[in-house]
Amino acid sequence: MPVSEHPISLGRLKKRAEFLRVRGGRSWRAGSLVLQAKKQSQADGAGGVARFGFTATKRLGNAVTRNRARRRLKETVRIAAGKLARPGYDYVVIARDGALTHSFSEIEKDLHAAFERVHKGSSERA
């Protein structure tokens, strides 16, 4: 899906401090991933763009395995998150074992459920 079809623009989290700030927000575990979300503060300067960071712990396996899991999650987010993510939020997607073994449709279902759960009860709507 070309980027132009996304209803919102998606950015990236790259600095460790950004990842640590999101860790203090809401999270939801699914079979293939953990999604953490936190509303951006005015000081972040992201301009209301939904930003994503991806990580995989060493417990998942060696570097090749971790990179494969991250690539699978990045592609799923690229396809699905444009409709699910809210502007003004930062998200961290953490790979779990299922990111390597589940089909893309299962990972997409996990991502969809995780988005619903981290935003459940949140009054701000995009």
Higher pLDDT residue, 49 or 68?
Answer: 68
The CATH code of the domain that includes 11 is: 3.30.230.10
Residue 123 belongs to some domain of the structure: no
pLDDT in tens, 70-96: 999 999 999 888 788 888 899 999 999
Going edge to edge, which strands form the sheet with 89-95? 10-12, 50-55, 89-95, 33-39, 26-29
Residue 99 belongs to some domain of the structure: yes
Q: Are 32 and 69 in contact (CB under 8 A)?
A: no
Residue 126 belongs to some domain of the structure: no
Residue 80 belongs to some domain of the structure: yes
What is the rounded distance in angstroms from the CA atom of residue 85 to the CA atom of residue 43?
20
pLDDT in tens, 107-126: 999 999 999 999 886 654 43
Compute the half-sphere exposure of residue 103: CA atoms within 13 Å on the CB side of its CA: 3
Residue 23 belongs to some domain of the structure: yes
Q: What's the total number of domains in the chain?
A: 1
pTM for this prediction: 0.83
Residue 39 belongs to some domain of the structure: yes
Residue 35 belongs to some domain of the structure: yes
Specify the DSSP element, H or E, that contains 81: helix 63-84
What would the two tokens of residue 62 be?
Answer: 């060696």
Strand partners, 38: 90
What would the two tokens of residue 45 be?
Answer: 């300067």
What is the rounded distance in angstroms from the CA atom of residue 119 to the CA atom of residue 126?
11
DSSP string, 15-63: SHHHHHHHHTSEEEE-SSEEEEEEEPPGGG--TT-EEEEEE--GGG-SH
Residue 125 belongs to some domain of the structure: no
Residue type for position 123 = S
pLDDT of residue 1: 40
What would the two tokens of residue 10 be?
Answer: 């998606």
| Domain ranges, residue 100 | 3-118
